[in-house]
């Protein structure tokens, strides 16, 4: 045997399982410090020792370290280690404040110690074998030859299940005998476990615990609820099994068994959960959800739902609904150059209203008006400017009960190139080398606003499918003029190919003004083309005001004026053939009626618009910021820049091609931020520069007012332009950490470096964000104020609303959330006002959701286990909105 060596040694990070500072356990293993019997004196220096016995079968590689002191009994072959002791025997690792290694009897004993200052038990043993999770205890005795041992007051966790207290004895590599231990979802060790099942005697195997008498215990108080024997799962992987239902009563559907079903773990990559709900009055719901994940490749979930309900009178046919959702994501590094993603949400328009249990009474789902889906594939050819995107799209209006489909849409693009430039050029670009050219091709097959009832009829696709292609060629040029001016010019050409056009006509004998013209859809190839020319010049003007006194050093104003010219022919001219006129037959005493229309009105790509444009555009953008002296606490001494006005833009356009009213309405907009950029402010509006006259007319015996714009500017009459519309909004999110210095981001706090446990928690949060409550932030508030004004002279409208949402902590365990909208004009709260109360019960959660008034007036009280493996273990009491008398 190698001679023991004493001396200084540093402990590497890999030699320590965990830093021990436990203050949780009160039951300590009462054993004093062993008194050395050999003549060798102990040392107070850090100690490390490695023992390799090559010719002995009884000994294995030994690695032992200690920080405080160590002692070796040469006669009895016993090591004594104090102070963050660490021992390794083959695949067994042990950390403790005190470790004794008996080499003759192959025994290792470990325990913690009482801190002389805090009087708390610290340095508890932490043992780990093979790939198993570490087991903490008050003390342990382990035979490293037979791999058997005994621990007092153990504490271990596996997949959300915790075992603590009592005694545990390892009788083989795969079996452990338990005595008076608590099986719980609470991570507090014995005796502070809040809730659990006491197993008086049991055998623990890899995936289960088989016990004799077991009883329930809450807050240390045993309840008269027990089992003569028990079977408790202790999985280290997903396991198939039944899902127990919840019982209750619905006022309109009767008694129910809700969400009973079966979970199937097909393999490590795919699992399927199928659940159903049945009601005593004949209604039922079925939901099947499949999750899949291929690490570093792709992942997603697919949900199929179906429901049959009868909310009407007995005997009425039931309402049958279905819904499909599919989400798929691909790892960006799985297939470089290609991407594939899917986000599908489609079904009947009444699904979310009729199948409330399947969407957990989610207010956002109940009140949504649109469903959208997209399946997209992308390809980029490396080393070329070309890329391709192909997508299938779906849009559904739940109010109108119409569906729009794109089957499919493709987009082939060529990035802008400089055709006259050279890759090997080393000199400055010449003017013609700055010309750029691009190209894109878009094609689609589209069904637009088809009623749900007609979607799957045989003639829907043949009569209503629209097909078209659109080519776009942009040509650009940019350069600097006279150092201070930026000049740009562009020309755009758009070519459209449609396979459907329309023809509009009046029936013979129709009376003018009383008959709607007939529109015929014509099949066949039809093209249209349009182009426009643009040029512009801009510059920047800087103004600065310096201050000699005070904390403000200077204020800088940056103005960016720009002038542009644009030209576009009148594609409504009859020579192009894009527009036609439908004329009704003339009949006495009624005159004829003429209606002008575009033959591409109902095509997938509408044709060019009418009207000639040749004019000049004006725009002016402004920014203002202040430079402030550095604070006395700022060691860098760098002046701070504070934005005052981040943008104020004014723009208009003058069209020389029009015979009157050439000046377009003047639009303005601006934005800034206050409170250290925490609150955003936006505003904008439109000014009409022309005089408006109000005229009267008589229709059906009533006097009506109408507005007539005349070709005269308001400033000619000494008046300011009319404010047609104005909007103002302010939004911000504040919390208790808003005005505190932000901590530096940890370099390893990224998605790529998350542990499996962190990934699982993030998946739970993303799946149901409402279930994640951060008790570390005492308060949080989001404010969104909105004001809108509109004036058409004969009628003025305005809206003034304030939206509030956030949460605050009553105590460290109580949290209240709120979400409401208040109409300041009518002084009324929105009917969607909601409150939520959360109580942290350590290993349990209690939540109360409450909508106090309105159409969706309801409440929901839920108590559930936090552990992800027992998410279905919960108790709910609800009063949903369908029980309201106003529901129909």
Q: What digits encode the pLDDT tens for the residues 700-726?
A: 778 788 888 999 999 999 999 999 999
DSSP labels, 761-777: HHHHHHH-GGG---TTS
CA distance 72 to 69: 11
Close Cβ partners of 473 (under 8 Å, ≥ 6 residues apart): 437, 438, 439, 492, 493, 494
Q: How confident is the model at residue 324 (pLDDT cuts 50, 70, 90)?
A: very high
Q: Is 425 exposed, middle or buried (0-12, 13-18, 19+ CB in 10 A)?
A: exposed
The residue with greater pLDDT, 133 or 768, is 133
Task: Give the burial class of 272: count Cβ atoms within 10 A of its Cβ; 0-12 exposed, 13-18 middle, 19 or more buried.
Answer: middle
**Higher-scoring residue by pLDDT: 854, 588:** 854
Residue-wise pLDDT for 142-156, tens only, equals 888 888 889 998 888
Closest CA to 564 of 486, 623, 622, 492: 486
Measured between alpha carbons, how far is 433 from 20 in angstroms, rounded to an integer?
69
Q: CA-to-CA distance for 494 and 496, rounded, in angstroms? A: 7
Highest mean pLDDT of the ranges 397-401, 627-631, 718-722, 763-767: 718-722
pLDDT of res. 28: 36
And the tokens for 875?
């108790």
* Rounded Cα distance, 410 and 67, in Å: 68
What token pair was written down for 424? 């090997």
Question: In the predicted model, is pLDDT for residue 501 greater than 50?
Answer: yes
Please report the beta strands in 295-362, taking only residues with DSSP state E, as ranges in sequence order.
298-309, 319-330, 338-347
Query: What integer is the mean pLDDT of 375-393?
Result: 94
561-573 in b/e form (b: 16+ CB < 10 A) is: ebebebbbbbbbe
Q: What is the pLDDT of residue 768?
A: 46
Poorest-pLDDT segment among 269-273, 365-369, 582-586, 799-803:
365-369
Mean pLDDT (whole number) for 302-331: 88
Backbone angles phi, psi at 650, to 5 degrees: -130, 135
Can you say whether residue 17 is alpha, beta or left, with left for phi > 0 and alpha for psi between -120 and 50 degrees?
alpha
Q: Between 458 and 856, name the one with better pLDDT.
A: 458
Greater confidence, 281 or 745?
A: 281
Contacts of 858 (CB under 8 A, 6+ apart): 361, 849, 850, 851, 878, 879, 880, 881, 883, 884
- Look-up: residue for tokens 């004009």? 825
Per the CB < 8 A criterion, the answer to whether 156 and 119 are in contact is no
Using the predicted structure, report yes or no on whether residue 297 has a pLDDT greater than 80: yes
Higher-pLDDT residue of 372 and 1 is 372
Residue 111 near residue 29, CB atoms below 8 Å: yes
Q: How much is the mean pLDDT over the chain?
A: 81
Check if the beta carbon of residue 876 is closer than 8 Å to that of residue 861.
yes
Nearest to 598 by CA among 612, 585, 582, 584: 582
pLDDT digits (tens, 9 = 90+) for 98-125: 999 998 888 999 999 988 888 888 888 9
Predicted pLDDT of residue 61? 46
pLDDT top residue among 319 and 28: 319
Q: Confidence class of residue 311 from pLDDT cuts 50, 70 and 90?
A: confident
3-state helix, strand, coil in the chain (%, to 5): 5, 55, 40
How many C-beta neighbours within 10 Å does residue 863 have?
16
The number of helix segments (H) and strand segments (E) in the chain equals 4, 55
Does the pLDDT value for residue 608 go beyond 90? yes
Can you read off the two tokens belonging to residue 582?
């439908």
From residue 64, give the alpha-carbon distance in Å to each of 136, 139, 234: 19, 18, 33
- Is the per-residue pLDDT at 175 higher than 90? no
- Given a cut of 60, whether residue 82 has pLDDT beyond it is yes
Give the pLDDT band of residue 866 (cuts 50, 70, 90).
low
List the alpha helices (DSSP H) in 323-441: 351-354, 363-367
Q: Write out pLDDT tens, residues 404-434.
A: 999 899 999 999 999 999 888 888 889 999 9
Residue from 353, 352, 355 nearest 279 by CA: 355
Task: Report CA 221 to chain centroid distance, whole Å.
Answer: 43
* Placement of tokens 């953008």 in the chain: 621
Structure tokens at 723: 């404010």
Local confidence band at 49 (pLDDT 50, 70, 90 cut-offs): low
The tens digit of pLDDT for each residue in 236-250 reads: 556 677 777 777 777
Most confident of 354-363, 402-411, 756-765: 402-411
Q: Give which of 255, 1, 28 is closest to 122, Cα–Cα.
A: 28
Which pLDDT score, from 0 to 100, does residue 272 have?
93
Residue 476 confidence (pLDDT): 97
Range from 508-517, 598-607, 832-841 carrying the lowest mean pLDDT: 508-517
Answer whether residue 60 shows pLDDT above 80: no
Whether 685 and 723 have beta carbons less than 8 Å apart is answered as: yes
Phi, psi torsion values for 403, nearest 5 degrees: -130, 135
> pLDDT over 90 for what percent of the chain?
38
**pLDDT cut 70: percent of the chain above it:** 80
Q: How confident is the model at residue 585 (pLDDT cuts 50, 70, 90)?
A: confident
pLDDT in tens, 794-819: 889 999 999 999 888 888 888 888 88
CB contact set of 867 (below 8 Å; sequence gap of 6+): 160, 161, 185, 843
Residue 598, C-beta contacts closer than 8 angstroms, at least 6 positions apart: 578, 579, 606, 607
What are 725's two structure tokens? 């519309």
**Tokens describing residue 124:** 């508890």
Q: What is the pLDDT of residue 191?
A: 65
What band does 877 get if pLDDT is binned at 50, 70 and 90? Answer: low
Mean pLDDT over 326-342 rounds to: 90
Q: Is 693's pLDDT higher than 50?
A: yes
Q: How far is CA 608 from CA 456, 492, 532, 577, 579, in A?
A: 33, 13, 11, 11, 10
- Which of these ranges, 203-207, 356-360, 493-497, 567-571, has the smallest mean pLDDT? 356-360
Which pLDDT score, from 0 to 100, does residue 764 have? 45
Counting every residue written for the chain, the total comes to: 888
- pTM beyond 0.75: the answer is no
Of residues 60 and 718, more confidence is placed in 718
Read off the tokens for 167.
């005694």
**Is the pLDDT at 683 greater than 80, yes or no?**
yes
How far apart CA 783 and CA 731 sit, in angstroms, is: 5
Q: Are 243 and 275 in contact (CB under 8 A)?
A: yes
pLDDT of residue 506: 83
Q: Of the ranges 342-346, 428-432, 845-849, which one carries the lowest mean pLDDT score?
A: 845-849
If you write DSSP's letter for every residue of 8-40 in order, what string do you get?
Answer: --PPPGGG-S--------------PPPPP-SSS
Nearest Cα to Cα of residue 868 among 773, 753, 757: 757
Please give the Cα distance from 643 to 553 (Å, whole number).
Answer: 14
Phi, psi of 15 (to 5 degrees): -90, 5
Task: Examine the pLDDT at 354 and tell me if it is beyond 50.
Answer: yes
**Model confidence at 455, in pLDDT bands (50, 70, 90)?**
confident
- Distance, in Å, from the CA atom of 845 to the CA atom of 773, rounded to the nearest integer, reads 10
| pLDDT above 80: residue 200 | yes
Of 173-182, 361-370, 613-622, minimum mean pLDDT range:
361-370
């Amino acid at each position: 045997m190698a001679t023991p060596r004493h001396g200084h040694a540093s402990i590497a990070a890999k030699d320590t399982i965990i830093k021990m500072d436990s203050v949780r356990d009160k039951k300590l293993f009462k054993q004093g410090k062993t008194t050395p019997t050999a003549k060798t004196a102990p040392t107070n220096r850090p100690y490390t020792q490695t023992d390799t016995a090559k010719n002995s079968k009884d000994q294995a590689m030994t690695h032992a370290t200690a920080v405080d002191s160590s002692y070796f009994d040469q006669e009895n072959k016993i090591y004594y280690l104090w102070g963050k002791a660490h021992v390794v025997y083959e695949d067994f690792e042990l950390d403790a404040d005190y470790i004794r290694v008996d080499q003759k009897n192959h025994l290792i004993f470990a325990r913690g110690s009482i801190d002389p200052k805090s009087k708390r038990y610290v340095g508890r043993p932490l043992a780990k074998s093979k790939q198993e999770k570490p087991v903490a205890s008050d003390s342990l005795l382990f035979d490293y030859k037979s791999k058997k041992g005994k621990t007092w007051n153990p504490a271990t966790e596996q997949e959300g299940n915790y075992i603590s207290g009592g005694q545990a004895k390892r009788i083989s590599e795969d079996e452990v005998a338990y005595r008076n231990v608590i099986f719980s979802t609470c991570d507090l060790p014995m005796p502070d476990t809040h809730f659990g099942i006491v197993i008086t005697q049991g055998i623990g195997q890899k995936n289960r615990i088989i016990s004799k008498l077991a009883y329930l215990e809450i807050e240390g108080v045993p309840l008269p609820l027990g089992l003569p024997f028990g079977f408790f799962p202790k999985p280290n992987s997903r396991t198939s099994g039944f899902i127990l239902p919840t019982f209750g009563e619905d006022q309109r559907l009767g008694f129910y068994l809700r969400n009973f079903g079966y979970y199937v773990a097909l393999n490590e990559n795919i699992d399927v959960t199928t659940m159903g709900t049945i009601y005593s009055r004949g209604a039922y719901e079925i939901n099947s959800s499949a999750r899949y994940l291929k690490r570093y490749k792709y992942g997603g979930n697919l949900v199929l739902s179906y429901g049959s309900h009868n909310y009407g009178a007995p005997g009425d046919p039931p309402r049958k609904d279905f819904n499909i959702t599919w989400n798929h994501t691909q790892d960006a590094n799985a297939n470089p150059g290609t991407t594939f993603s899917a986000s599908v949400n489609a079904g009947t328009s009444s699904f979310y209203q009729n199948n409330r249990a399947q969407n957990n009474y989610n207010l956002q789902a109940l009140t949504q008006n649109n469903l959208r889906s997209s399946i997209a594939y992308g390809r980029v050819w490396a080393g070329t400017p070309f890329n391709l995107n192909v997508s299938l799209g779906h849009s559904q209006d739940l109010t109108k009960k119409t569906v729009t489909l794109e089957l499919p849409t493709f987009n082939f693009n060529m990035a802008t190139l400089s055709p006259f430039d050279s890759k090997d050029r080393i000199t400055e670009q010449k003017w013609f080398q700055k010309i750029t050219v691009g190209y894109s091709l878009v094609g689609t097959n589209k069904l637009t606003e088809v009623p749900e009832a007609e979607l799957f009829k045989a003639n829907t696709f043949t009569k209503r499918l629209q097909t078209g292609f659109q080519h776009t060629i942009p040509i650009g040029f940019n350069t600097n003029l006279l150092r201070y001016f930026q000049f740009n010019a562009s020309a755009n050409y758009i070519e459209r190919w449609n396979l459907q056009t329309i023809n509009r006509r009046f029936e013979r004998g129709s009376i003018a003004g009383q008959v709607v013209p007939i529109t015929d859809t014509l099949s066949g190839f039809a093209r249209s083309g349009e182009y426009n020319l643009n040029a512009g010049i801009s510059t920047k003007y800087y103004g600065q005001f310096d201050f000699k006194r005070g904390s403000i050093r200077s204020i800088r104003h940056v103005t960016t004026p720009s002038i542009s010219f644009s030209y576009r022919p009148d594609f409504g001219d009859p020579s192009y053939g894009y527009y036609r006129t439908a004329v009704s037959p003339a009949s006495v005493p009624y005159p004829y009626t003429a209606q002008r229309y575009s033959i591409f009105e109902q095509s997938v790509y509408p044709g060019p618009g009418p009207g000639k444009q040749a004019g000049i555009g004006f725009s002016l953008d402004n920014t203002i910021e202040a430079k402030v002296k550095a604070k006395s606490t700022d060691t860098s001494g760098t002046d701070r820049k504070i934005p005052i006005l981040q943008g104020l833009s004014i723009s208009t356009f003058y069209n020389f091609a029009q015979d009157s009213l050439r000046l377009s309405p003047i639009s303005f907009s601006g934005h800034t931020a206050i409170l250290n950029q925490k609150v955003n402010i936006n505003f904008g509006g439109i000014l009409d520069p022309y005089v408006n006259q109000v005229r009267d007319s008589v229709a059906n015996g009533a006097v009506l007012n109408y507005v007539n714009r005349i070709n005269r500017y308001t400033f000619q009459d000494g008046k300011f332009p009319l404010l047609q519309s104005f909007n103002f909004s302010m939004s911000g999110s504040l919390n208790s950490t808003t005005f505190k210095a932000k901590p530096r981001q940890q370099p390893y706090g990224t998605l790529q470096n998350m542990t499996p446990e962190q990934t699982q928690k993030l998946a739970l949060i993303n799946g149901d964000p409402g279930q994640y409550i951060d008790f570390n932030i005492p308060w949080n508030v989001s404010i969104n104020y909105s004001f809108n004004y509109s004036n058409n002279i004969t009628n003025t409208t305005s809206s003034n609303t304030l939206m509030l949402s956030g949460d605050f902590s009553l105590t460290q365990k109580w949290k209240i959330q709120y979400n409401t909208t208040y109409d300041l004009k009518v002084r009324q709260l929105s009917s969607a006002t909601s409150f939520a109360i959360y109580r942290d019960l350590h290993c349990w959660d209690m939540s109360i959701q409450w909508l106090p008034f309105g159409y969706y007036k309801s409440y929901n009280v839920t108590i559930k286990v936090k552990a992800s493996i027992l998410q279905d273990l919960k108790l709910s009491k609800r009063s949903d909105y369908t029980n309201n008398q106003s529901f129909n």
